[in-house]
Structure 1
Amino acid sequence: MMLQREYFESLSVLSPFEIKDELIKLARAGSEKSARAFLNAGRGNPNWVATRAREAFFLLGQFALTEARRSLDDPAAGIAGMPPRGGCHLRFQKWIAKRLHEQEEDWIDEEGAPPARTLRDAVAFAIERFGFDPDAFVHELTDSIIGDNYPVPDRALYHNEIVTHEYLMWAMCAGHRPDVKFDLYPVEGGTAAMCYIFKALKNQRLLNAGDTIALGTPIFTPYLEMPELEDYGLHVIRVSAEQEDRFQFTDEDLEALADPAVKALFLVNPGNPSAAAMTPDSIRRLAAFVNTRRPDLMILTDDVYGTFVPGFESIMGHLPRNTIGVYSYSKYFGCTGWRLGVIAVAQDNIFDQRIRDHPEEIQEVIEKRYKALTPKPRELKFIDRIVADSRDVALNHTAGLSLPQQVMMTLFGLVELMDKDKVYQKACIAICTRRFRNLVEGMGIETNVGAYYDYYYGIVDLEFWLRKYVGEDVVTWVKANIHPLDIPFRLAEEHGIVLLNGSGFAAPNWSARVSFANLNDDAYGEIGRAVRTIARGYVQAWQASRGEEITG
């Protein structure tokens, strides 16, 4: 059944994540009536998980319970006390040595490391690498994994912030590490980071209703939608990186940022859905532009997929003073359900400076907001204002990411830092690369994505490929006679495949986003063949409209 153009027009205003629900219904219905598999490559939830840090986490919980029973133990009621600090590192060493002896007897023929060895080595590595007090570090782990206290400090646990800072310098700045210190705020995933940052920028009068911001497009849909909400009322311009330029910003693109009315630039790097990381040349071009022409420009960079590009460089490493960094652990470690993310702000930054430079009447308004937190609210750092605003200030005393989540974050970071040969990173990249190649082979095309492609997502741009392989005439006919949403709906209805419409990400209208993270390898060859079938159908319809003989 051909879906009506009017219906597509009514859906065009929706987020692709809402259109997805209708696509899933169509794809499931079609799959149930045929032998086709239902293939949902719409969301980016990976279908792998990092095991070693998780094994260490669950083993650590067992030790923490033995510690809790030291201060109070009522087994009949199921009550224990709080883990004590004094001597806990020595007790941990004895306990873990016993567990390791037990596990190694059963691990002789297994590949990898026993969980006890991973946990033992992670603790020893952290103590040696960062000079931690052994009892203080082990107590933070045990008390936090039990979850018996509020987060103290509320912004980030002391040891977790140090470990996470070092992990971020690898994850986001492996190719260019800045000689600066960042303050971190662990949060409930990248989505929470977005919400908290938007709110804080508004509350500090750094972005006000009617202000202009620039979005580097294509971009993750919520960055397109949130500025338009009544809460913010921002005017948006798009700095578009084109596929012909490998999704890199040109000098001409950056000229849009020269206008001082543009208060901020929001980036996703590597791109979602383009999967292209900014090249070193592009980053240096942007950094030079900001340093020489817009030193006042605020930048937010969302670098969730940076770990899928070896030697990744974030703009926060080149413009730390101007930049708020956002990172999420969800994709790399397969932990979307853990809700682990972090906000990073350099200790020397323009956000604090711009707050200090507000006129006195604005200073007084903002000062009232935080007067219950400190006798000197004007001295409150921007990162700590983000924390307070995330809990509407009045609940700042209960702010902070849950302690078991922060322990998981610590262990993910430590295990990755111990992996000197980057075996895990190479394995993750290999998974996505295989799937990408299967899709391309199924489509029957040739492509060179370059060294800065992360292989996590892909934009299937039918206009681009029809123009390259068939010609401008067929592109003109298709655009005049078929609605762009026909692509994802036809894939769902006729092939049981769910892809998101690229237009919802400010990607080309005639494109669809495919995730290479969440289906088995063979599925991507099938997706590629289905896309090729749709493209062939468009060409045949064009041929029929001209009275030509239809070719295969």
Structure 2
Amino acid sequence: MSSVSDDYQKFRHLSPFELKDQLVRLASGRAQRAMLDAGRGNPNFLATLPRQAFFQLGMFAAADSALTFSYMTEGVGGLPRREGIEARFEAFLAANRDVPGIPFLRRAVSYVRDQLGLSADEFLLEITAGILGCDYPTPPRMLRYAEKIVRHYLLHEMAGGTMTESTTDLFALEGGTAAISYIFASLRENGLIRPGDKAAIGMPVFTPYVEIPELKDYQLQEVPINATPEAGWQYPPEELDKLLDPSVKIFLVVNPSNPPSVRINDEGLARIAEIVRKRPDLIIVTDDVYGTFVDDFRSVYAICPQNTVLVYSFSKYFGATGWRLGVVAMHHDNVLDKALAALPEEEKLELDKRYASLTPDVRGLRFIDRLVADSRTVALNHTAGLSTPQQVQMVLFALFALMDGRNAYRGALQRLLYRREQALYRDLGVPAPNDDGSTHYYTLIDLVTVATQLYGLRFARWLMTRVDYQTILFRIAEETGIVLLPGDGFAVRRPSARASLANLNEYQYAAIGTALRRMADEYYARYQQEKAGDTGQAPKENS
């Protein structure tokens, strides 16, 4: 087998998501064949009940708005009125009681009032005005009741309900990647990270997170904290101990990981907590978007809240990538605000100028509020904040999960993803990975392990020395119509391919397994031919 062809070579330095587009073009090249894209992790499932509720709430809000100017026939409405809103809402529910989404809305208001102890009419006023989008987000960081409800959901899922809610603040924004971008930008603007600083990154990891520190904007030195497949994709103590280096300013981690899809276990969390006790200045940013796919998940934020900025997105669990819904959570007593207070006076004076339009007491302006302002380059702070209809859908997603006492939705998704993974590996002919704490959202197909399991270690060594594994991915796309992403684009140190288990249906993952096995068989036949040519006789099977 020849080395990577010139046609493939030019794509080697693309990020996996740009490379995916090239693979998709190859996979779509034959009209008589279906293209199976297991590349980008956009789920093909979604939560229907909170969406039905959203649209029914919109109908109520539009009708309620029309009451204000009901004498006009030109379609003019007014702002929702608090007086009598709960009664009007109950009348709307009664008139539409058999419509999908209505029972959910009734239960949601009851939960907010009776379990969270919030005012039903004020909550209804906020979500009615919010879904109409008739006013600026106020407060810009997050709507008042939206923050209370989403915070309750977030700490329930990320900390098992063990944290005092009043000590956590949220900033609603346009998804997890926007959160990471805003966080790094504000850290830079406030002198909390500087060119030449070391940034530790838990690896393997979502590709853009590898690229951010190297950008000209930041010029950080990257320190890999490597999880190992031999340890079930956990971080060994010697890797985590790299964080003890005082020149490491920040630790960015995705938990559960992407693409191994495994949560940090209790031992790993305890080690991180021990390190933070020795490094109280360490800044941790954790992206926990996949945490809700795992039972009894605990975030790094739950064990090191003062040092951790928590990022969560609603995109994957609720099938809402197009909604762009995310939050940043920070503890009131946090290391970032302490670092701001410890900045040299000269730098404080510069920051006084930067944020002077917001408050006369810039020194008292917390990092999370600077984050909001920086998201609109400070001068446009008054227009900051996630759109109010987006915040309303976020609230309904949160309430949907909170009211699901039996975790029926989570269980359904877990079973769905698990069956897809089993179908892929069953038809590939090897056991599926059995990593403890896996979300099963992605799977890393380790080419050496699979080749060894199928035809022995000698064949696996031959395959890795004679065939560039990215060529295999291009061949898979061109010849079978299947799109997989290279593991090295996610800082995986072994030849591997990432397959999302969220994109396709079970029979399609079985088809992927069959196609991969067929290609493995073809390579093995070439291996046998080469061995026969070397010895002058047919080779024996490898053990």
Normalising to structure 1: TM-score of the pair? Answer: 0.94
Q: Which amino acid aligns with 1:162?
A: K
Match of 2:126 among 140, 148, 160: 140
Deviates more, 1:351-360 or 1:129-138: 129-138
**CA offset digits 1:372-416 (Å, max 9, x no partner):** 100001111111111000000001001000000000011111111
Whether 1:11 and 2:11 are equivalent positions in the alignment is: yes
State whether residues 46 and 517 of structure 1, in contact with CA within 8 Å, keep that contact through their aligned partners in structure 2.
yes
Cα distance in structure 2, aligned partners of 1:531 and 1:204 = 50
Runs of at least 5 residues in structure 2 that lack an aligned partner in the other structure: none
Q: What is the CA-CA distance between 1:550 and the residue it aligns to?
A: 6.5
**CA offset digits 1:111-148 (Å, max 9, x no partner):** xxx42111011011111222222221110011110000
State whether residues 241 and 249 of structure 1, in contact with CA within 8 Å, keep that contact through their aligned partners in structure 2.
yes
Match of 2:53 among 53, 56, 63: 56
Q: Show the 5 A alignment for 1:408-427.
A: 408-427=393-412
Cα distance in structure 1, aligned partners of 2:512 and 2:146 = 42
Q: What is the CA-CA distance between 1:551 and the residue it aligns to?
A: 8.0
Q: Which amino acid aligns with 1:54?
A: R
Q: Show the 5 A alignment for 1:241-320.
A: 241-291=227-277, 293-320=278-305
Residue 448 and residue 460 in structure 1: after superposition, are their counterparts in 2 closer, same or farther (change >3 A)? closer
Give the secondary-structure state (helix, strand or coil) at the position aligned to 2:193. coil
Q: Which amino acid aligns with 2:294?
A: V
Q: Percent identity?
A: 43
State whether residues 142 and 172 of structure 2, in contact with CA within 8 Å, keep that contact through their aligned partners in structure 1.
yes
Deviates more, 1:236-245 or 1:468-477: 468-477
State whether residues 4 and 471 of structure 2, in contact with CA within 8 Å, keep that contact through their aligned partners in structure 1.
no
Match of 1:73 among 70, 74, 77: 70
Cα distance in structure 2, aligned partners of 1:368 and 1:357 = 18
Q: What is the CA-CA distance between 1:509 and the residue it aligns to?
A: 4.3
Q: Show the 5 A alignment for 1:154-173.
A: 154-173=140-159
Q: Show the 5 A alignment for 1:17-416.
A: 17-30=17-30, 32=31, 34=32, 36-73=33-70, 76-100=73-97, 102-103=98-99, 114-174=100-160, 177-179=162-164, 181-291=167-277, 293-416=278-401
Match of 2:517 among 528, 532, 546: 532
Q: Which amino acid aligns with 2:312?
A: Y
**CA offset digits 1:178-217 (Å, max 9, x no partner):** 3462110111111211111111111111111111101110
Runs of at least 5 residues in structure 1 that lack an aligned partner in the other structure: 104-113
State whether residues 421 and 432 of structure 2, in contact with CA within 8 Å, keep that contact through their aligned partners in structure 1.
no
**CA offset digits 1:503-537 (Å, max 9, x no partner):** 10011341111011110110111111222223333
Cα distance in structure 2, aligned partners of 1:51 and 1:479 = 45
Q: What is the CA-CA distance between 1:307 and the residue it aligns to?
A: 0.8
Cα distance in structure 1, aligned partners of 2:418 and 2:92 = 42
Q: What is the CA-CA distance between 1:23 and the residue it aligns to?
A: 0.5
Residue 258 and residue 540 in structure 1: after superposition, are their counterparts in 2 closer, same or farther (change >3 A)? farther
Give the secondary-structure state (helix, strand or coil) at the position aligned to 1:373. coil
Q: What is the CA-CA distance between 1:544 and the residue it aligns to?
A: 2.7
Residue 471 and residue 256 in structure 1: after superposition, are their counterparts in 2 closer, same or farther (change >3 A)? farther
Q: What is the CA-CA distance between 1:2 and the residue it aligns to?
A: 7.5
Cα distance in structure 1, aligned partners of 2:71 and 2:258 = 52
Q: Which amino acid aligns with 2:162?
A: R
Give the secondary-structure state (helix, strand or coil) at the position aligned to 2:182. helix
Q: Show the 5 A alignment for 1:455-466.
A: 455-466=440-451
Give the secondary-structure state (helix, strand or coil) at the position aligned to 2:177. helix
Cα distance in structure 1, aligned partners of 2:540 and 2:21 = 35
Normalising to structure 2: TM-score of the pair? Answer: 0.95
Cα distance in structure 1, aligned partners of 2:17 and 2:294 = 26
Give the secondary-structure state (helix, strand or coil) at the position aligned to 1:512. strand
Give the secondary-structure state (helix, strand or coil) at the position aligned to 2:138. coil
Q: What is the CA-CA distance between 1:355 and the residue it aligns to?
A: 0.9
State whether residues 487 and 512 of structure 1, in contact with CA within 8 Å, keep that contact through their aligned partners in structure 2.
no
Deviates more, 1:423-432 or 1:67-76: 67-76
Give the secondary-structure state (helix, strand or coil) at the position aligned to 1:337. coil
Deviates more, 1:469-478 or 1:454-463: 469-478
Cα distance in structure 2, aligned partners of 1:72 and 1:191 = 42
Q: What is the CA-CA distance between 1:57 and the residue it aligns to?
A: 0.8
Whether 1:430 and 2:419 are equivalent positions in the alignment is: no
Cα distance in structure 1, aligned partners of 2:123 and 2:419 = 40
Residue of structure 1 in register with 2:492 after alignment: 507
Give the secondary-structure state (helix, strand or coil) at the position aligned to 1:546. helix
The alignment's C-alpha RMSD in Å is: 1.8
Deviates more, 1:252-261 or 1:418-427: 252-261
Deviates more, 1:471-480 or 1:84-93: 471-480
Give the secondary-structure state (helix, strand or coil) at the position aligned to 2:196. coil
State whether residues 540 and 550 of structure 1, in contact with CA within 8 Å, keep that contact through their aligned partners in structure 2.
no
**CA offset digits 1:337-360 (Å, max 9, x no partner):** 111111111111101011111111
State whether residues 112 and 120 of structure 2, in contact with CA within 8 Å, keep that contact through their aligned partners in structure 1.
no
Q: How many residues end up aligned between the 2 structures?
A: 536
Q: What is the CA-CA distance between 1:257 and the residue it aligns to?
A: 1.5
Cα distance in structure 2, aligned partners of 1:447 and 1:39 = 20
Q: What is the CA-CA distance between 1:471 and the residue it aligns to?
A: 4.1
Q: What is the CA-CA distance between 1:464 and the residue it aligns to?
A: 2.6
Q: What is the CA-CA distance between 1:82 and the residue it aligns to?
A: 1.1
Whether 1:549 and 2:535 are equivalent positions in the alignment is: no
Cα distance in structure 2, aligned partners of 1:247 and 1:284 = 16
State whether residues 257 and 263 of structure 2, in contact with CA within 8 Å, keep that contact through their aligned partners in structure 1.
yes
State whether residues 3 and 467 of structure 2, in contact with CA within 8 Å, keep that contact through their aligned partners in structure 1.
no
